[in-house]
Structure 1
């Protein structure tokens, strides 16, 4: 897939803001979650599979906690399972942050061009903090985490809250996502979505444009991507 801006890109409209998913989009932390899930299964004498792990990608954490409780046959509550997951994943992030190709570069370029960005993730704040510590202060003008919304993705609330905190209309925003759950959330909020698939496939759909990677995508490419996404049905 080409990632160059079209000759008409400059005549299109720049998104008012860019709203970023985190896991699998900004950072490749899904392997950390999966490794922690397998460690829990071994600890409690249960079983787990890669397919089961991929089925949780993009979910709000309490939904994943409930699924793990049922599928592993654990006695803990979903909230307790989530906290144990976070313990394992935070420990791994503190050792190393695995950035996705092109993500930091685009994020930096957006900051240089004064395009506001928000982080919209279903991870909890205590997992987000060590990742944000590796970025310049103020990189994200708003941060929406799974423990600060009533309804997680695929509900539109996370993206609606992010747009509201930035003071912009969601219809004028470009969301960057890697999962079907996240893309559904952003589209339901009214955003155009740049989908960069990673661990799981994402169906084509309304207001979605796909690229293989963020590597090589610059600020000048965004108007054409928004225009392409708005034409998608």
Structure 2
């Protein structure tokens, strides 16, 4: 059974007790992780550091600045200008994000919630420029989500719960009445730390796409 074609959405993905939903963006609402991987690959060649697909998936949800700081620390790379590398990563991603698509099985949940008048929000570790580019590509930058929280609006990224807590606050719903949706372990930790009603791992949903080649 593919959730993207189901009406109604199964309760395990949209509990009847839920009053608000908060979604991660990359790899959850949007099939963008392949673009991020391509951008990181190019960046690693330009700046001279190493990064594998497995490492990136393990770090998914963290802001690019934190990822670069971690990689430079682990690899003893003191010569890299981290702010410049982060800026270049954003440039590379924005160049690639024009053909972004949504993940249907997750969007089915968002549409079901909106049909019930339930507020929905984005809580992402991406920066504002990347997020706006991605959402604009699928015509969802304005009018679809009731709130969008990026790494630019928080002081602590995932797995800290701040991103999800701020999103819940912006839609006016108590965290214990919110459901969070994530594709990454760090994000799942953040949802649970925020005290949400439920944390849904979208990678386990029927119809979820393979993110990496």
Q: TM-score range by the shorter chain?
A: 0.7 to 0.9
CA distance in 1 between partners of 2:160 and 2:109 (Å)? 26
Shift of 1:54: 2.7
CA distance in 2 between partners of 1:15 and 1:180 (Å)? 22
Shift of 1:172: 0.1
CA distance in 1 between partners of 2:76 and 2:39 (Å)? 13
Structure 2 vs 1, CA of residues 49 and 40 (structure 1 numbering), >3 Å: closer, same or farther? same
Look up the match of 1:52.
Answer: 55
Of 184, 199, 202, which residue of structure 2 is paired with 1:196?
Answer: 202
Deviations 1:154-188 (A, max 9, x none): 11111111111111100000001111100111111
Of 119, 130, 137, which residue of structure 2 is paired with 1:116?
Answer: 119
Structure 1 ranges of 4+ moved more than 6 A: 1-4
Q: Structure 2-normalised TM-score?
A: 0.81
Q: Structure 1-normalised TM-score?
A: 0.75
Question: How many residues are paired up?
Answer: 199
CA RMSD of aligned residues (A): 2.7
**Aligned pairs for 1:62-211 within 5 A:** 62-70=65-73, 71=75, 73=77, 75-94=79-98, 96-133=99-136, 134-136=138-140, 137-191=142-196, 192-197=198-203, 211=204
Matched-pair contact (CA < 8 Å) for 2:58–2:184: no
1:29 aligns with 2:32: yes
Structure 2: which 5+ runs fail to align?
4-8, 209-213
Structure 1: which 5+ runs fail to align?
198-210, 216-233
* Larger radius of gyration between Structure 1 and Structure 2: 1
Matched-pair contact (CA < 8 Å) for 2:25–2:122: yes
Shift of 1:30: 1.5
Deviations 1:5-58 (A, max 9, x none): 47xx99x73311000001111112112121112112222444433333333222
Shift of 1:108: 2.5
SS of aligned partner of 2:94: helix
